Every structure is written in structure tokens, then in C-alpha cells.
Amino acid sequence: MRTINIRRMMILSAVLLMGPLLNTGCTRINDKPAAEVLHLVLAGMAGSDGVSFEGASSLLLDGNPAPEAALYYGGTVSDHNKVSLHTLLPDGGTPQTVAQAGENKLKSSSAAPPAYYTQLEKKNGRWTLLQEDSTASPDNPLPALNPLRQLEDLEKLEIEVSEEAGAARGTRVLRIELSEPEAGRQLAAELEGQMEAIRPDKSGSEGKEAGKGAEALQLLWEQKNNELQQKLKEVSVRTVYYLKVDTKRNLPKRLTCTRRVNDSGNQGTAAGGAEEIYLTEVNFYGYR
């Protein structure tokens, strides 16, 4: 009997000793530094087969909403590297492609405005359009809202990661702020990409009159591009992301971004426009 009691005491002691060690290990997993959590979440997203998402973007000019800039969108990620995006109606109505809207316009004068639709695929490390149609025009805002590219960029940018207090159980909220130079570079790259997309194609001109028209367009483009470059030198940019993380699966639940652009050359003018605030938000659901 004594041998049995000693054995039980040894087992009990081992359990009591192992308990704190096991609990400490779990605590370390849950209390990883914010920067490490971000890395794990981005890796988890890259390993996910697919996910659905819905989001919105808006613009404030000196604190006043710009309704024409408001956009609602949704989409899916599939096969790790394919993204489909489409615009949504503000009331959550069924989205329409441009072709569908054109058909409906023949049937009703009060048809909903056309919506954009875009398919992207990552090839050789770059996101490219899968199709070339009317919805792939330079003014299509959807490619810039690709949530996978936004998340991937966070690993490449010069950032400072911290954690917000008071997150709901099972979640963590990471605050990710770009350095001021990085925020400026990011904005410049986006605007320069948009300018490049609308650059006139001189190779397509035919005939003397067409050549003159192409030359005039090129001169206008160069003028506007020079104005853009000058404006970029005058503005200060601050960009902050907030990433809500599902700690059970190490996957994103929500990504928001606030970009503040202040024009030092236009401060205090009657025309206003001294500050632009660009807001985006995307919610992820239905991971596969």
C-alpha cells in the first residue's frame, strides 16, 4: 500500500508541476508581440484557400463627405491568388455588371447605374487583370481596393505595429502606422500608377490630324503629370491601418485604413481643400 501511495503522490506532484508550465506556454502563444501576430496573420491569410469580403471607401474634404467618391464593394478570394471584386449598391442590392446595366437601361429609364467588376490574379509576384473589357478602364477603382494586395503590402512597408486595448474576446486589434516618408511614397506610387494608366498611346495615331491630336493629348498629360509631381512635394501624408484578428484561427476579420493628406501650400485658403481624408474598410468572412 505504501508503494501505491508513493506512486500516486509522484503522479500528483508531476501534474501539479506540469500545470503551470503548460499554462505558461499557452500564455506565451496568446501574448505574442503585435509585430509577430501581424506576421502570423499574413501567413495564415496566404495559406487560406479562399474567403469572401465586403467593404467600403469614402473621401472627406476638409471634414465634408464627398458623396461622388463613396464606393461599396464585395468579392471573393479563390485558389490563394485570384480575386474577384464588384461594386455594390449602398442598400446592399444585387450588383450589376456594366453589360447588365446596359441591358436594363433598354427596359427601364430608372435602371440602376452600372457597376464595376474586376478579376485579378497574382502572376510572378504581381497582380494583373484577368480580362480586358470595359470594366477594366483606367477609372475603375476596384483594382486598388484588392484586399489581398493591401495585406501583402503591410509586410513590405516601413511600419510601426502596436496593439489597441479593449478588443473583444477572441480578437486582437493591431494598429499599423506607416512612417511619414513611407506614407508619402505609397500615395505617390498609387497616383503615378493612375497617371500612367491614362497616358496617351502615341503609337496608335494615324494621319496628320490624328498625329496632332495625339501630340496635344501627350502635352496635356505631361502638364498634368508635372502638376501632380509638384503637388506631391507639397503634401504631408499620414496613414494608419487597424487590423482586427481572429486569435483562434490567426486570420483577419477586418482591415481599415485612414489616410490623411494635408496640403501645406493650400492652408487657410478660402477655397479649402487643405486636408483630404481617405477611408477604407473591408470585412472578411466565410474562410475556406
The rounded distance, in Å, linking the Cα atoms of 137 and 144 is 13
- pLDDT score for 139: 75
User: Which residues in the chain land under pLDDT 50?
Assistant: 1-4, 11-12, 14-29, 94, 97-110, 134, 205, 268-272
pLDDT in tens, 114-160: 578 999 999 988 998 886 554 556 678 899 999 999 999 999 999 99
CA distances from 138 to 10, 61, 185, 279 (A): 73, 23, 21, 21
- pLDDT score for 28: 35
The rounded distance, in Å, linking the Cα atoms of 84 and 143 is 9
- pLDDT score for 134: 44
In the predicted model, what is the mean pLDDT of the chain? 80
User: Which residue in this structure is represented by grid cell 478660402?
Assistant: 270
Residues 6+ apart with CB under 8 A from 167: 173, 244
The rounded distance, in Å, linking the Cα atoms of 253 and 250 is 9
Beta bridge partners of residue 178, listed in sequence order: 159
pLDDT in tens, 224-237: 999 999 999 999 99
Q: Write out the chain in H/E/C secondary structure.
A: CHHHHHHHHHHHHHHHHHHHHHHHHHHHHHCCCHHHHHHHHHHHHHHCCEEEEEEEEEEEECCEECHHHCEEEEEEEECCCEEEEEEECCCCCCCCCHHHHHHHHHHCCCCCCCCCEEEEEEECCEEEECCCCHHHCCCCCHHHHCHHHHHHHCCCCCEEEEEECCCCCCEEEEEEEECHHHHHHHHHHHHHHHHHHCCCCHHHCCHHHHHHHHHHHHHHHHHHHHHHHHHHHHEEEEEEEEEEEECCCCEEEEEEEEEEEEEHHHCCCCCCCCEEEEEEEEEEECCC
The rounded distance, in Å, linking the Cα atoms of 245 and 254 is 7
- pLDDT score for 201: 74
Q: What is the pTM of this model?
A: 0.78
